[in-house]
Structure 1
Amino acid sequence: MSINRIKKACFFMFLLTSLTAISQELGKVSGKVSLSGNVPAEGISVVLRGTKYTAVTNTAGQYEIKNVKPGSYTISLHSVGIRPVEENIVVTAKQTTTKNFSLSESQEDLEEVVITKNKYKQDKPSLSLRLQTPVLEIPQNIQIVSAQTLKDQQIISMSDGVIRNVSGAVRLEHWGDLYTNISMRGTQIQAFRNGFNVVSSFWGPLTEDMSFVDHIEFVKGPAGFMLSSGDPSGLYNVVTKKPTGITKGEASVTAGSYDFYRVSLDLDGKLDKKGKVLYRFNGAAQKKGSHRPFEHNDRYVLAPVISYQIDDKTKLTAEYNFQYANMTEVGSFYVFAPEQDGYASRPRNFTMTQPGLPDTNIQDHSGYVMFEHKFDDNWKLTAQTSYFKYMQQGYSSWPGVVGPGPVDRDYDGVKEGDLTEGQIIRNVGIWDAESNMYLGQIFVNGKFNTGAVSHKLLGGIDLGNKDYMADYFQSHDLDTLEDPFNVYNPNYGTPSNGLPNFDRVTPLSVRAAALINSEYAAGYIQDELGFLENKLRLTLAARYTWISQSSGDDVEEDSHVTPRVGISYSIDPNTAVYGLYDQAFIPQFGVLKAGGTLSKPLTGNNIEFGIKRDWFDGSWSTSLSAYRIIKENELVSDPSNGPRDVFKVVLDEKRAQGIEFDVRGKIIDGLNVIANYAFTEAIVTDSKVSNISTGSIVPGYSKHTANAWLNYNFQAGKLKGFGLSIGGTLLADRETDTWSVGLEKLPTYFKLDGGLSYETGKMKVTANVFNILNEYLYSGSYYAPLQAYYWQTEQPRNFRVGIAYKF
């Protein structure tokens, strides 16, 4: 060995020894940060000034800074809504320096400032998602629509503009503010409330009123490991308001175009002096007309919550939500036109509904009981049970003949060509339905270390029993062949064939056309392993699900194990890249065209990659993801039927893929933004259905979706308190909601909205104008059995003005 090589080897040995010695002499700084009332302060940045040493407090207010060189430092605390705090400390080799802080700010002050400073961005998912990890570090695309977003955009229900805040989410057929039916990543996604899957049939649930909603979480891709029976394309989870322990209230009054009037009340406080018993009460009443005559949708909501802090570690919460809807029959918003006329051939305010038809009314009840117990700072048990009851008594309108085309059903003596162009025989069907759901969950979250590897453990059990029954086979023609309805010269007087008189004396359970029951039981476990001081995170999970479905004497059982593997790496404290592989296994309901009402559960898998980043100390964030989803054995609408028809067929396999980009948060003081773009492509990759060919485009999505919402509040000067908002939605290459696309495609959709606000003291006035450009906006499909186009229009230019008062 040469002298130079010996010198180099000695140098590297000396360097390695020196580094080892230095590492052995490093110290550590840790402590806890509390607000007034000894409330843990979460999300506070802790910095050793002038160095790279930083940390952020966890949910318990604790922080830890490792591998600090011995010496004297100035430790600094800062976050939105707190006064900066600085103190001197001394770090000693091989020892832990403990420094606790007690801040003068209260939780109430902090919440108010956070809403003001960063009102569109939330960093952590709710308890009902069962995760202990910040959104930035979760190996999945999760978008959270905040409470302040809902207020600024004057959103009143789940189907009223929420989706503009999430990339790739669309509602091509709006269902008259009755059902939300959101599509994302090429498929209708599942509806959840407080972590429970509340879907008992394709038709439902009733869209949630925003009076009792705190925020909404959109989980892209499957989430069956943490929320039972999640679709491979994703889900939305509505998180309801809970008591905060802060005595406060808010009342609001809103009025708008087309006879829209609404009042709501939110009360929050304590029922005892010690603050162990807390309450929250939300209520709302709404009268809502339409730009179409004879149409309305009125709502009444009550939502009380009570929580009891049994001791420092145990909490019990009970909640009840009641929604009552009284509305025009389902289908009143549709307009039909002969094939020769095509889409949008009638005025925006045109209607085919019949005045005098009884209202459709819906009662939606849901109750929850949640038990939470902390064994210590690292282990927590959560158990909750819920009961959902949905009752609907009403009607559904849909034509049987659109002249001069063919006949949808068997009409005695009626054949194609008997009606001239524009003549229609309107039909009204009964739609009485009832659903009961009994759901239960119990899960454990834990944290521990094995050597240098950290673990975030999640394990639990899900149980559920759902039933749904409906009568939709009684029907009545409003018009006759001799005196049909004419879209060119409509007559809304007494229909020529009179109004319906359906059988409601016979119990629904006897006359129901569909009686479906589903039971499931599942167990799951997930471990998030953290390496390199949690810079690298590996998620391993598995779920076993057993499902039993029955309809009459038919019973089908199945079980499956679905794995999940995710990896996330923090390039720096504000940037993470991730990859994910997941599977899904969920029950399906529908009346099969081939006979019966049962189908094998849907299975699917998802591959996803993405990058997330927080900018400027977490003020705003971006996420970019790419995915591919394969779904097998999915029930889809029969290509020969329309939205009113209940028959389904089984599609062998389809594939959805695309990219999504989201940005949200505070760009500069006063300026908040939400913007997103998605490219989506979904095709059939294998089909045995005669009229659905392999390679067909899957209906129900838009290939290009883009949204933006900007809000600016003046921070100083004479205009302080004033705010401006502007937002737009673009849908391009829209696919219809049926397989029969006809000769016309849906046109590109663009909607522009904007608003003004003024806040002074405890009062805030918000005004928004929707569809500023007064565009003729609509969605619809081609209905092959009648050789006709149908569509539903959105409101012309319209406004809402609201006044909110906090007390």
Structure 2
Amino acid sequence: MKSIILSCMIILALCSYSYSQTGIIKGRVLTEKGNPAKNVVINLNGIQELEVDSSGYYEFTKLPANTYEIKAKHVSFASQVITVDLKNSEVKTLDFALKQSENTLKEVLVSGYKGAVEQQPSSSLRVQTPLIELAQNVQVINSETMNKQQSFNLADGLYKNVSGIGRQTHWNDLYVNISMRGSQIQAFRNGMNIVASYWGPLSEDMATVERVEFVKGPAGFMMSSGDPAGIYNVVTKKPTGEQKGEITFSLGSFDMYRTTLDLDGRLSSNGKLLYRLNVAGSSSASFRPNEDSKRLTVAPVISYQLGENTKATFEYTYQKARMTDIGSAYLFSPFGFKSLPRDFTFSAVGLEPLNIDEHNTFLTIEHDFSSNWKLTAQGSYFNYNQTGASSWPLDVFPEGKMLRKTDIWDAQSEMQLGQLFLNGNFNTGKVKHKILAGIDLGKKEYFADWNTGLVLDTLNGGEFDPQNPSYSFDTNRPDTLTFDRSLPLKTRAFVGGGLMNSSYSSVYVQDELGFFDNSLRLTLAARYTSMSVGTWGDAPITSKKVTPRLGVSYSIDKNTSVYGLYDQAFLPQRQGNLHDGSEIKPITGDNIEFGAKRNWAGGRWNTTLSAYRIIKNHELTSYGPRPEDVIEIGQKRVQGIEFDIKGELYKGINLIANYAYTDAIISKVNQGVNTDEQLNFFEGQRLTGSDKHIVNVWLDYEIQNGAVKGLGIMAGMNSNVDRGTGSYSIDLPETNIEDYLRFDAGLSYHKDKWYTNLNVQNLFDKYLVEGGGVSSFSSGSVYSWQAGAPRNFRMTVGYKF
């Protein structure tokens, strides 16, 4: 670490004396209404192109003295050209104000596949640096890819478009629980951490989502606290100022029906007041009996240009979910994974369903002091209410029979989140600075009643037998299948220790210094965090820490960069009954990473290669039947290599492919950990849920000419090799799940304003284990797993207007 810092200091000292005879052309593109113009392409002398960022800014660097022609173009605006003479070391600022073109507006309604490549991070990631120059591995999945693959929910598998990402399949598609680099990563929405408990948040409907950004490794520039593995950030759709709309109808296997509506436009003639409205409704059964799910999402957004340089955006999202008693997807058997049919279920008819209502709001105010300085303030409120029950066996016997039970699971969550951050650009001599500074504040509370369980079966002949299943139960028993909700939820939660809360405040500053006309970039940052965490009804514990960040990125040419990163993470963790009675410490982690990025064919496709090592200290692991019983094993180490390629390889041929090697183990076991007879941890043991090799491929080809122009063919493959189980035990140590291999295929067609997609998943109808591990009961440990769906299809018809 000292050698890295010393090397960077030497580089900084040498670069302070650098001198260059090249110049810069930069500026901003606005609409004639004064709004930032998005997706505009800036062309320099017909040979170099880039896309403006989310605020309309662009910049060309390392330009020799010459006469340049700069052209701004977009299919829904009239193109504009400016000619300028650039002198040595001169910085020219050229702004554009584009006028709407009714003729070209029609073109945007019939345009086909935009492509998988995104060059800029969203504004909610806070940084201003293009992705290829950023000293971090950030992968973006946009709405075009979601539509092609018909990903209706984040749990559908959208994450497989990014290397090394899996899902801890739990509670059906209620929660996503994404894993990356050996850990479950934190969920963000529009740049804010929205995780209030171990079971949230409710998975988003993709109808409201513009893109999902996967930030690998610690993200000190946007986290108050988090796992060193990284985060994912869901970016919701905002008004664009264009008058347009889209409606879709979908149907599929297992009685799946879905419809969506997307309206985008202006509410005032001067274009200052804009709106966006997304509505989605769906209903589906399952390949398992006795299971169904219904969802409704309504998401209106309003933005208003308060002045020439200030804009306010208000978002509200309502999600309603009603689904079968949660836990119905699990299978349990002492005889091994796949020892029961994939369409088998233990779930009984007539149990209480799970009902969820989630409300969340965002208010964002952006103010541009100038073209170089911008202030963003954002506040958010979340309210989550859940009423219902979950299924889990009371016991599973050696012969495979079991006692089923259903447990009450009423829960409520509230979050108040706020952030204020400043982005700035300035030069000191020949050194360019990109400043990010801000504060984060948050308060979260979750309380749940899971105190009552009702057993559905009886001993001595009344056990549930998977070989001869009977799904009925005696509804005339004295303990009829109803739960006592006479007391307020918070009171009931207190009795069972179902109270969790956290509050935090954080201050951070980051400077990205650019040398040699920004070819070499050095990132220096630090964050101070104070966080209080309370779980299981215990008094909160406050932890404080300063986490540094050091990154170096170098552009070999305008399309190729290499980077190195050292970052730290800090995550106060749940309380509980620690095995040895000592004080619970926050998770601390160190991440070292190196990588290379390249844009090919003018940015139509790109590649990213990274290698990393993460060390995690003090992480707790549950043991025994109660989640509050925890133990600090010692130290964990995760290291690996990841490769991503995405984009348009050739006209009409689009590819998304990735590979990840992950080596995730326990690297140190604390003394006395294995004194309990139920514990068997050892150095070199695989971390739960970590697969060593993950390969994903998605390829689509669209015919460009002729009578069948607009017809597309799609194919996909997902493979997980040398998989790790969800948990281990003394009885069934390190019993890995078999390798996973799934093939998908599809067809698409678009003409004028109409389009249709047909996707077939699990093309060869293979019995797939999505996830699994070992579950312990009083009669011993058994295998538990979730089976993937058999061959199934989805078909969507859409109309843009």
TM norm. shorter chain > 0.5: yes
Paired residues, number: 760
Deviation at 1:744, TM superposition (A): 4.0
Q: Deviations over 1:503-526 (max 9, x none)?
A: 211222112122122111000000
Deviation at 1:610, TM superposition (A): 0.1
Contact 1:684 1:693 in 2 (8 A): yes
Contact 2:68 2:86 in 1 (8 A): no
Contact 2:389 2:410 in 1 (8 A): yes
Distance 2:110 2:589 in 1: 40
Q: Give the match for residue 655 of structure 1.
A: 637
Distance 1:74 1:466 in 2: 53
Q: Deviations over 1:136-156 (max 9, x none)?
A: 011000000001111111011
Q: Give the match for residue 800 of structure 1.
A: 794
Contact 1:432 1:470 in 2 (8 A): yes
Q: Give the match for residue 156 of structure 1.
A: 152
Match of 2:245 among 236, 245, 249: 249
Contact 1:579 1:608 in 2 (8 A): yes
The change in CA–CA distance for 1:105 and 1:570 in structure 2 (over 3 A counts) is farther
Match of 2:120 among 100, 120, 124: 124
- Specify the code of the residue in structure 2 equivalent to 1:655: R
1:306-317 aligned at under 5 Å gives the runs 306-317=302-313
Q: Secondary structure at the match of 2:602?
A: coil
Contact 1:335 1:351 in 2 (8 A): yes
The change in CA–CA distance for 1:284 and 1:647 in structure 2 (over 3 A counts) is farther
Q: Does 1:536 align with 2:520?
A: yes
Q: Give the match for residue 342 of structure 2.
A: 348
Distance 1:97 1:559 in 2: 45
Match of 2:490 among 509, 512, 521: 509
Distance 2:583 2:387 in 1: 25
Distance 2:278 2:639 in 1: 40
Q: Give the match for residue 206 of structure 1.
A: 202
Distance 1:684 1:95 in 2: 55
1:682-701 aligned at under 5 Å gives the runs 682-688=664-670, 689-690=673-674, 691=679, 692-701=681-690
1:140-289 aligned at under 5 Å gives the runs 140-289=136-285
Q: Deviations over 1:62-93 (max 9, x none)?
A: 555666356xx573648786999888776678
Distance 2:107 2:591 in 1: 37
- Specify the code of the residue in structure 1 equivalent to 2:739: T
Deviates more, 1:89-98 or 1:218-227: 89-98
Distance 1:371 1:277 in 2: 14
1:560-575 aligned at under 5 Å gives the runs 560-575=545-560
- Specify the code of the residue in structure 2 equivalent to 1:441: Q
The change in CA–CA distance for 1:40 and 1:746 in structure 2 (over 3 A counts) is closer
Deviation at 1:99, TM superposition (A): 7.6
Match of 1:556 among 530, 541, 544: 541
Q: Does 1:726 align with 2:726?
A: no
Match of 1:580 among 561, 565, 570: 565
- Give the number of the structure whose alpha-carbon radius of gyration is greater: 1
Deviation at 1:94, TM superposition (A): 8.9
Distance 2:635 2:788 in 1: 34
Contact 1:37 1:106 in 2 (8 A): no
The change in CA–CA distance for 1:95 and 1:732 in structure 2 (over 3 A counts) is closer
The change in CA–CA distance for 1:56 and 1:120 in structure 2 (over 3 A counts) is closer
Distance 1:28 1:651 in 2: 54
Distance 2:581 2:303 in 1: 45
Distance 1:531 1:774 in 2: 55
Deviates more, 1:176-185 or 1:78-87: 78-87
Deviation at 1:322, TM superposition (A): 1.0
Distance 2:86 2:451 in 1: 78
Q: Deviations over 1:106-128 (max 9, x none)?
A: 59859949974642111111111
Q: Give the match for residue 3 of structure 2.
A: none
- Specify the code of the residue in structure 2 equivalent to 1:503: D
Deviation at 1:97, TM superposition (A): 8.3
The change in CA–CA distance for 1:43 and 1:448 in structure 2 (over 3 A counts) is farther
Q: Give the match for residue 364 of structure 2.
A: 370
Deviation at 1:790, TM superposition (A): 1.4
Match of 1:472 among 427, 432, 450: 450
Distance 2:51 2:248 in 1: 37
The change in CA–CA distance for 1:377 and 1:100 in structure 2 (over 3 A counts) is closer
Distance 2:274 2:31 in 1: 20
Contact 2:359 2:383 in 1 (8 A): yes
Distance 2:291 2:795 in 1: 22
Deviates more, 1:498-507 or 1:354-363: 498-507
Distance 1:224 1:114 in 2: 41
Match of 2:774 among 782, 787, 804: 782
- Specify the code of the residue in structure 1 equivalent to 2:550: V
Give the alignment's TM-score, normalised by structure 2: 0.89
Match of 2:785 among 786, 791, 794: 791
- Specify the code of the residue in structure 1 equivalent to 2:219: A
Q: Give the match for residue 314 of structure 2.
A: 318
- Specify the code of the residue in structure 2 equivalent to 1:306: I
Q: Secondary structure at the match of 1:177?
A: coil
Distance 1:99 1:305 in 2: 31
Deviation at 1:325, TM superposition (A): 0.9
Match of 1:678 among 656, 660, 673: 660
The change in CA–CA distance for 1:272 and 1:87 in structure 2 (over 3 A counts) is closer
Deviates more, 1:789-798 or 1:223-232: 223-232
Distance 2:528 2:37 in 1: 37
- Specify the code of the residue in structure 1 equivalent to 2:307: D
Q: Secondary structure at the match of 2:207?
A: helix
- Specify the code of the residue in structure 1 equivalent to 2:466: V
Match of 1:428 among 406, 411, 423: 406
Q: Deviations over 1:178-206 (max 9, x none)?
A: 11001100000001111111111111111
- Specify the code of the residue in structure 1 equivalent to 2:318: F
Contact 2:384 2:414 in 1 (8 A): yes
Distance 2:451 2:92 in 1: 75
Q: Deviations over 1:287-310 (max 9, x none)?
A: 111000001121111111111110
Match of 2:504 among 511, 520, 526: 520
Q: Secondary structure at the match of 1:382?
A: strand
| Unpaired runs of at least 5, structure 1 | 1-21, 405-420
The change in CA–CA distance for 1:111 and 1:125 in structure 2 (over 3 A counts) is farther
Deviates more, 1:201-210 or 1:102-111: 102-111
1:21-100 aligned at under 5 Å gives the runs 44-48=41-45, 60=56, 63=59, 68-69=64-65, 75=69, 77=71
Match of 1:490 among 456, 459, 469: 469
| Unpaired runs of at least 5, structure 2 | 1-18
Deviation at 1:211, TM superposition (A): 1.5
Match of 1:500 among 478, 481, 491: 481
Q: Secondary structure at the match of 1:206?
A: coil
Contact 1:677 1:707 in 2 (8 A): yes
Contact 1:550 1:598 in 2 (8 A): no
- Specify the code of the residue in structure 1 equivalent to 2:341: P
Distance 2:434 2:20 in 1: 27
Q: Deviations over 1:590-624 (max 9, x none)?
A: 54465999943221111100000000110100000
Q: Give the match for residue 763 of structure 1.
A: 754
Distance 1:452 1:475 in 2: 69
The change in CA–CA distance for 1:180 and 1:686 in structure 2 (over 3 A counts) is same
Contact 2:110 2:752 in 1 (8 A): no
Distance 2:321 2:165 in 1: 25
Give the alignment's TM-score, normalised by structure 1: 0.88
- Specify the code of the residue in structure 1 equivalent to 2:245: G
